[in-house]
Homo-oligomer: A and B are copies of this chain.
Amino acid sequence: MRAPENEPAEPVAAVEPDLAGEIEFLTVRAAASGTRLARARLRPLGLNVRSYSVLALAGSGDGWSQRAIAAYLDLDPSQVVSLVDELEAKGLLTREVDAADRRARRVRATPAGTDLLVHARQAAAEAEDEALAALAPEERAVLLRLLRRIVFAED
């Protein structure tokens, strides 16, 4: 699967493929396979990757606004609405008007949501471990640091 069987013995290409040398290409592939693994393990819990992410935020802090969730997850605020709707309908989180700013809604996990989150985090961790099986712990730490730099432009 990693290489085509029909690579020519003597290349005559005017342009080399070199996609394997493009970080963008590899990042997209890594993200896709990681998402696939995570999705498979979260499905039995009734979650997908995005609803898991929202639930994880709802289960932390003291009530995220939907705007803050959208910013943190790099989603459009309109996408957060349906994710929160879905989780609220399942009784996994609550959405309450913020007394200090009545435009905003504070999203918090319910006890049931917190319980599910424990299992979901375990599932996500297993998926990550499987996706990164080729890397030693120190290498994973390096990767984590580099990705943080890209995503949050920090360090």
Judge whether A20 is part of the interface by a CB distance below 8 angstroms.
Answer: yes
Q: A6-B65, A135-B146, A151-B33 are in contact. Are A59 and B14 (CB under 8 A)?
A: yes
- Say yes or no for A38: interface residue by CB 8 A criterion: yes
Per-position 1/0 for A75-100, Cβ under 8 A of B: 00000000000000000000000000
State in angstroms the CA–CA spacing of A111 and B20 once bound together: 23
Q: Kindly state the separation between the CA atoms of A121 and B24 in the bound complex, as whole angstroms.
A: 12
B26 close to A34 (CB less than 8 A): no
A47 at interface (Cβ–Cβ under 8 A)?
Answer: no
Contact (A27, B24) CB under 8 Å given A57-B19, A61-B4, A153-B134? no
- In the assembled complex, which residues on chain B have CB atoms less than 8 Å from the CB atom of A112? none
| A residues neighboring B (CB under 8 Å) | 1-8, 11-35, 38, 49, 53, 56-57, 59-65, 68-69, 71-74, 109, 114, 117-118, 121, 124, 127-128, 131-132, 134-135, 139-140, 142-144, 146-154
A-B contact pairs, 19 of them (CB 8 A): A4-B64, A6-B61, A6-B64, A8-B63, A13-B61, A15-B56, A20-B148, A22-B128, A23-B140, A24-B35, A24-B38, A24-B127, A26-B144, A27-B27, A28-B34, A29-B74, A30-B31, A143-B146, A146-B146
Given A13-B59, A13-B61, A24-B131, 11 additional A-B pairs, CB 8 A: A6-B65, A8-B63, A11-B62, A15-B109, A24-B38, A25-B53, A26-B144, A28-B49, A30-B150, A139-B146, A139-B149
